[in-house]
Amino acid sequence: MNLPEKYKKPYESKDVESIIYEKEMNSGLFNPDMLVQKFPNKYAESATWTSITPPPNANGRLHAGHALDVTLKDIIGRFKRMQGFQVLLLPGSDHAGFETQVVYEKKLEKEGRSRFGMDREQLYKEIYDFTIANKDTVTSEIKRIGASYDWSRDTFTLDEKIVSGVKNTFIKMHEDRLIYRGKRDCNWCSKHQTSLSDVETEKKEVVTTFYTFKLGDFNIATSRPETKITDKYVVVHPTDARFAKYNHGDTFEAEWVLGISTFTVIKDDSIDPEFGTGAMTITPWHSGIDFQIAKKHGLDMVQLIDDYGKFTDLAGELKGLKATTLGREKVVEILTEKGLLVGKDEKYKTIVPVCYKCETPIEPQLKDQWFVKMESLAETALQASQDGKLNFISDQYRKTYEHWMKNPIDWNISRQIVWGIQIPAWFKNKGIDSEEFYIGNAKPEGDDWIQETDTFDTWFSSGQWPVATLGFTDSEDFKRFYPTQLMETGRDLIFKWIPRMVIFGLYLAREVPFKDIYLHGMVLDPKGQKMSKSKGNVMSPIDLADEFGMDALRMALVVGSAPGNDLSLTNEKVRAYKKFVNKLWNIARFVLENTNEEDDSVIDFENVHVKNFKKIKYEITKNIENYQLHLASDEMYHYVWHEFADTVIEEFKKDMIPENKKVLRYLFKQILIIAHPFIPFVTEEIWSDFEVKNLLLVEDWE
């Protein structure tokens, strides 16, 4: 028995992990082409099995959620590869437009600089260098988790071919009349100076004062007095008897913020007579619903609040005041002095949309922006779900998905930031406010065209990810790997990402981009709270792996966490699986000490322990195939520890006859196989002491 020296002490993950990963990666077998080339018997005729990995933002370090994400995908990928599929786990990174720019702006702020006033090219270059540097960090951290990704196909959203493909999609959509440019209300963040899509805003409950002011014969209730300065329409419900003396279009004069103004009465059934006073004035430029009413009746719209949240010239002497703070106070003061304040409720609860990054309240603004018409696209995406083409691993998310598809809101895809893919549009003469534009990759003939400065919403490019990373619809990879099998990502992306990918997949390739959708929960801290830098409760997967080993962390993330449910991560849990990994190590020592290669011969498959194992293996196989990894990992754990170690070994120990040695060796090698997807490092390391021919990575999972 030449027991290798390393087994004389407990398992040391840090001595092993990077070496094993290098060994596996350098084998080339993460690449499905190499699987076919090196093991034609096993792979040449087999089906492909593909999962596109979510592009982690190339703007920071990995967090525990990423570790879960990578672990789940890698477990299934390794399992499928062992089973004999041509597995492609396709990595990529996202430039994460707005996200990254926000991070970079914070960095600039710390350095006492600002993006505003910076040269466009200079800013872009700085963020580019910053992102590339971070991308390398992120990639190396993903590798530490053990991700068996095909790095030869690694893709970045700003790679030349992705950029041109994304632009072509936009051009094609424009030709198909799915793109329009228009002055429409949009979500404006006055801090970041850009518009945002609906999914980039969050709702926040605030307690504020709800004022009622007298306006002529009407009482007007509002929580935003500052927007009322330039209002000149009073809207009531057509059948509201209280206002019967006024007809639609009647005018009257009344004292208001800036003196006596003329008001017009508008009757519209979108008004709820029960709410407030049943009458309201509208501010079309700064409110979505008011905009709809104004548009419907062809009313005037004016900009009272500028892009920085301050009053424009229209506010007269109040010009330049911050609207939501000093401006509001001033307006209330003026109306109160005039005796027009008739009531106020200081405990009024309301929901305001805020920027999801900085929590600055969104100030709706009318802006010329690029929009995608969502109705027909959403309809096909809804149909796909209803036809059962999408398999949500936890079905609760199907409802959410379908709800979103049933209520599509046109998608604002233009961002006023430099970090991203510049929209391929050109304006004539007057600059970017020009009505006349051309869409195409090249500048049109003539000198007087200037290019649009806005960039695409980052989800416009990452939404095309399954198609784009495979090289778009004409490429060989696309034909070979599309549609993919599994989309596994965080449940928080059910709106931002999943629907876009389905829509683009159907639009560009006429087929859903993936069949199974596995949405994992969020990784929470030991108290069950969301991890965040500001709370200081972030648990780094790398730090945890340094302390307990990556195999232990992988187990801790998987065991007992059902698909779609959040899990809270504790050091104790990771430590428990470190013990498990070490247990396996000790079992290996025992097997190596008591058996040798000569025992690798035919065994009696009627042996009670072998039959029992078959049963367990069948269960584990079934559970992985159904994405029930939390069950499969638990079964594996219990088999190894409480069946194999506690029962089989204890029994054989008493009577180490040749037949038992054979069974022992056989079962242990089988254990390495079933454990490998979950704990690849330690199993691969032990495997090399049993079987030097091939990596465990491609061993048969029968």
Of residues 153 and 237, the one with the C-beta less far from RNA: 237
How many CA within 13 A on the CB side of residue 129? Answer: 5
CB of 282 to RNA, least distance (A): 7
In degrees rounded to 5, what are phi and psi of residue 433?
A: -90, -5
CB of 594 to RNA, least distance (A): 8
CB of 505 to RNA, least distance (A): 22
Of residues 122 and 396, the one with the C-beta less far from RNA: 396
CA distance 148 to 653: 37
CB of 527 to RNA, least distance (A): 7
Q: Which tokens go with 367?
A: 């802006």
Q: Answer for the pair 508, 475: CB distance below 8 angstroms, yes or no.
A: no
Return the bridge partners of 87, or none: 49
Of residues 163 and 393, the one with the C-beta less far from RNA: 393
Distance of CA 546 to the CA centre of its chain: 27
Of residues 131 and 283, the one with the C-beta less far from RNA: 283
CB of 531 to RNA, least distance (A): 13
Q: Which tokens go with 46?
A: 């087999």
CB of 447 to RNA, least distance (A): 41
Report the alpha-carbon angle 660-663-669, nearest 5.
Answer: 140
CA distance 370 to 422: 12
Show the beta-strand stretches assigned E in 159-215.
179-189, 194-196, 201-215
Of residues 279 and 501, the one with the C-beta less far from RNA: 279
Distance of CA 529 to CAs 520, 524, 532, 573, Å?
16, 5, 9, 17
b/e for 325-345, b at 16 or more Cβ within 10 A?
Answer: eebbebbbebbeeeebbeeee
Of residues 598 and 651, the one with the C-beta less far from RNA: 651
Of residues 189 and 567, the one with the C-beta less far from RNA: 567
Q: What is the DSSP string of 263-309?
A: EEEEE-TTS-TTSTTSEEE--GGG-HHHHHHHHHHT------B-TTS
Of residues 300 and 345, the one with the C-beta less far from RNA: 345
CA distance 430 to 436: 9
CB of 270 to RNA, least distance (A): 7
CA distance 137 to 141: 6
Distance of CA 401 to CAs 178, 384, 388, 397, 611, Å?
21, 11, 13, 6, 44
Q: What is the DSSP string of 504-523?
A: HHHHHHSS-SEEEEEEE--E
CB of 37 to RNA, least distance (A): 37
CB of 384 to RNA, least distance (A): 20
CB of 584 to RNA, least distance (A): 9
Binding site for RNA (CB under 7 A): 10-11, 198-199, 202-203, 221-224, 271-273, 275-281, 287-289, 292, 350-351, 396, 399-400, 403, 407, 409, 495, 524, 528, 560-562, 565-568, 570, 572-573, 575-576, 578-579, 581-583, 586-587, 589-590, 593, 623, 626, 628, 630-631, 634, 638, 641, 645-646, 649-650, 653
Of residues 198 and 511, the one with the C-beta less far from RNA: 198
Q: Answer for the pair 180, 438: CB distance below 8 angstroms, yes or no.
A: no
Of residues 59 and 277, the one with the C-beta less far from RNA: 277
